[in-house]
Amino acid sequence: MIKSTCPGSPELIALGAEAVLVKACYEGMPSIFKVRVRKPYRDRGLDTMLIRSRSEVEAKILAELRLKGLNVPALYYVDLSEGLIVMEFVEGPLLRDLIYRGSEKALKCLEELGELVASVHDAGVVHGDITTSNVIVGGDGVYLVDFGLAKYSRRLEDLATDIHLFIRSVESTHYGLKEALLRHFMKGYAKVKGRDFTDSLLIKVKEIRMRGRYVEERRVRRGI
Amino acid sequence: MIILGIESSAHTFGVGVVRDEPPHILADVRFVYKPKTGGIHPKEASQYFMSNAPEAVKEALSKAGVKVRDLDGIAVALGPGMGPCLRVGATLARAMASYYGKPLIPVNHALAHVEIGKMLFSFKNPLIVYLSGGNTLIASFSEGRYRIFGETLDISLGNFLDTLARELGIAPPYVVSGLHQIDRCAQNGKNFIELPYVVKGQDVSFSGLLTAALKLYKSSRAELSDICYSAREIAYSAIIEVSERALAHTGNKEVLVVGGVASSPVLRSKFEVMSRLRGVELGIVPPQYAVDNGVMIAWTGLLLLKHGVHVRPEEAYVRQRWKLDQVDVPWLARTNSSGS
């Protein structure tokens, strides 16, 4: 399909849940080839719909955010029928691993991530899967990657869901450090979006959490 | 060690007796409340439980061939679940424990589903996919507890299937010969219709899908069987997708599917395909133990008591919203589940 113009063989980076990530060269630049693979357990019609729509939205959003100067991989090439996206390879460790290693940089990165997520929200985009393994700490700051579940939205509900999912992923991945990590994240977020907006967003986040199954804080209805 | 366990969180009043050496299961008695119309009515269910509780305990003891004095402890499910139902089991367990002077072991119902599954498959550290009438969640062990990686943002998968079937006029009964009415109705479906597919991070959401499917049905613009087929394909695929995402994230090498909804043969085959592709071992708790039962409560109670967990009867209050990630699991080493 595409001829590699650089030496060295392609390298499998990750066998993700919905896509295969391969590092290879594209037009002389180290790149990530993301291919959404068919899932034999899914109805074919559903499969086609998901692969096409997710690839399309991901590519559009990557290009748009990059044009706004935000730290996301640059978009190089798209083939919707193949479910293929070629994008910039961002060099650096995952934020998750930096935290596991107890790096001093971690808290500063969380604050930068908060700023980046706020800017993404400002651009009318929600990421849909913010986790510390979807953040690469590059030479010139943190990069948000994997916009596979991203969508266009400015609704407070969707923005708050984005934050809710991030909080939950920090709770399950970095339980012991969650308070410090989240405090720095929210500090960065508020720098961009302002204290008032951030506070109203956090009220919505709490409301979403309360909607979950068997939430202890939710008051039991009287009279049962 | 011999433990008697009592389950009463929803529609099943179950009493199980287990011991710490094989064969582990000595008795498994169940009384199941079946509503004539609609879903579970908590008050009716609890009344049904109250009238059958004494018989259930007597039968379990006689099947196990033990007397109350032979028991090392009384285990009871204190949550999560429906308050009026849980209170029947809790009251009985408190009474037995204080009258006979036995240790009373508080058991989390969700943890019990997990532990009985681990025993059946001899799994060490599986990714947990918990699908029942009340629960839809994905969990993995980390830092002393099962941590929740994904769950439903609104209704559970079981609730989705039951409500859809009821509103489409094909239930109750919800399950006929081991097959849910939605799976049954979907067998004749051929055309996939686009309906909302919602996966947010590791989470799923089914309320939008339910509304859209019912709206389509009321508009009479699609065949009932096609609606069943499409709604089911979307719901099951979303579950498999978040399970697969969690596996990629945690690096677990085993998947354990627990809870009553896991008995769907269609869902089972989707899990089989996914597990083969990812090269992980799959355990789906068989229907007999996937649904609520007293054995799983007794077994988890046994593990807890071996680690010194028991409470005074006055401390054994029901917790309708006692989540899986609020329970310490002392028999698993304090490990970080992450593969890295």
CA distance, residue B71 to nearest chain A CA (Å): 32
Beta-carbon neighbour count of residue B311 at 10 Å? Answer: 15
- A33 and A126 in a single domain? The answer is no
pLDDT at A211 over 80: no
- Residue B16 has what pLDDT? 97
Asked whether residue B338 carries a pLDDT value surpassing 80, the answer given is: no
Q: Domain with A107 in it: what CATH number?
A: 1.10.510.10
Dump pLDDT digits (tens) for A76-112: 999 998 899 999 999 999 999 999 998 889 999 999 9
Does B336 score more than 60 pLDDT? no
Confidence of residue A215 (pLDDT cuts 50, 70, 90): low
Residue A202, domain member (yes or no): yes
Mean pLDDT of B67-76: 96
**Within-domain flag for A121:** yes
Evaluate whether residue A3 is within a structural domain: no
Q: Which residue has the higher pLDDT, B255 or B248?
A: B255
Q: What is the pLDDT of residue A16?
A: 79
pLDDT tops 70 at residue B3 = yes
**Which of B42, B136, B194 comes nearest A49 by C-beta?**
B194
- Where is B269: in which H helix or E strand? helix B265-278
| A100 and A200 belong to one structural domain | yes
Verify that A15 and A76 share a domain, yes or no.
yes
The pLDDT, as a whole number, for residue B261 is 87
Is the residue at A4 inside a domain?
Answer: no
Same domain (yes/no): A61, A151: no
d(CA B104, CA B107): 10
Please count the residue pairs, one from chain A and one from chain B, whose beta carbons lie less than 8 angstroms apart: 124
For residues A105-127, one letter each, b for 16 or more C-beta atoms within 10 angstroms of the residue's C-beta and e for the rest, the string is ebbebbbbbbbbbbbbbeeebbb
Say what the pLDDT of residue B40 is.
82
CATH number at residue A17: 3.30.200.20
Angle between helices A178-193 and A195-211 (to 10 degrees): 130
Which residue among A88, A112, A143 closes a domain? A88
Question: Are A99 and A80 found together in one domain?
Answer: no
What does the domain layout of chain B look like in residue ranges? 2-114+291-332, 124-288
Q: Which residue has the higher pLDDT, B133 or A55?
A: A55
> Which of A146, A169, A213, A216 to probe by mutation at the B interface, max B CB count within 10 Å?
A213
Is the pLDDT reported for residue A123 higher than 90?
Answer: yes
The yes-or-no answer to whether B2-114+291-332 and B124-288 have a common fold is yes
What number is the average pLDDT over the span B17-29?
A: 94
Token representation of residue A125: 């985009």
pLDDT, residue A10, reads 86
In a domain, A32, yes or no: yes
Q: Of the candidates B168, B223, B214, which has an alpha carbon nearest to the alpha carbon of residue B191?
A: B223
- Average pLDDT of chain B, as a whole number: 91
Q: Tens of pLDDT along A24-80?
A: 999 888 999 999 999 999 999 999 999 999 999 999 999 999 999 999 999 999 999
Structural domain range at position A42 = 11-88
Tell which CATH classification among 3.40.50.150, 3.20.20.140, 3.40.50.1000, 3.30.420.40 matches the domain B124-288. 3.30.420.40
- pLDDT for res A219: 52
**What's the confidence (pLDDT) of residue B95?**
96
Q: Is the same domain home to A210 and A126? A: yes
Query: Which whole number is the average pLDDT over A164-168?
Result: 90
H helix or E strand, kind and range, residue B25 = strand B25-32
Candidates B241, B257, B253; CA nearest to B281 is B253
User: Distance (Å, rounded) from C-alpha B53 to C-alpha B93?
Assistant: 11
Burial A208-224 (b: 16+ CB within 10 A, else e): bbeebbbeeeeeeeeee
Q: What is residue A64's predicted lDDT score, i.e. its pLDDT? A: 97
Q: Are A103 and A83 part of one and the same domain?
A: no
Give catalytic residues of A, as residue numbers: 129
Closest CA–CA distance from residue B280 to any residue of chain A (Å): 13
Rounded Cα distance, B32 and B10, in Å: 9
Average pLDDT value for residue range B303-331 = 91
pLDDT digits (tens, 9 = 90+) for A129-163: 899 989 999 999 999 999 998 999 999 999 999 99
**How far apart are alpha carbons B330 and B327 in whole angstroms?**
9
ipTM over 0.85 threshold: no
pLDDT, average across residues B250-268: 90
pLDDT at B172 over 60: yes
CB contact under 8 A, A224 and B202: no
Helix (H, G, I), strand (E, B) or coil at A205: helix
State residue A224's pLDDT score: 38
pLDDT, residue B235, reads 96
Q: Which chain A residues are within 8 Å of B45, Cβ to Cβ?
A: none
Residue A45: closest C-alpha in chain B: B192
Q: What is the pLDDT of residue B303?
A: 96
Enter the pTM of the model: 0.84
Residue B172 class from Cβ within 10 Å (0-12 exposed, 13-18 middle, 19+ buried)? middle
Is the pLDDT at B310 greater than 70, yes or no?
A: yes
Residues A214 and A112 in one domain: yes
- pLDDT the model gives residue B335: 45
In sequence order, which residues have a C-beta less than 8 Å from that of residue B218 and are 6 or more positions away? none
Let me know whether A106 and A75 are in one domain: no
What is the average pLDDT across B231-242?
95
* Whole-number average pLDDT of chain A: 89
> For residues B217 and B180, what is the distance between their CA atoms, to the nearest angstrom?
19
pLDDT, residue A101, reads 92
Question: Which region holds residue A215: left if phi is over 0, alpha if psi is between -120 and 50, else beta?
Answer: beta
Asked if B248's CB is within 8 angstroms of A16's CB, the reply is: yes
The CATH number of the structural domain formed by B2-114+291-332 is: 3.30.420.40
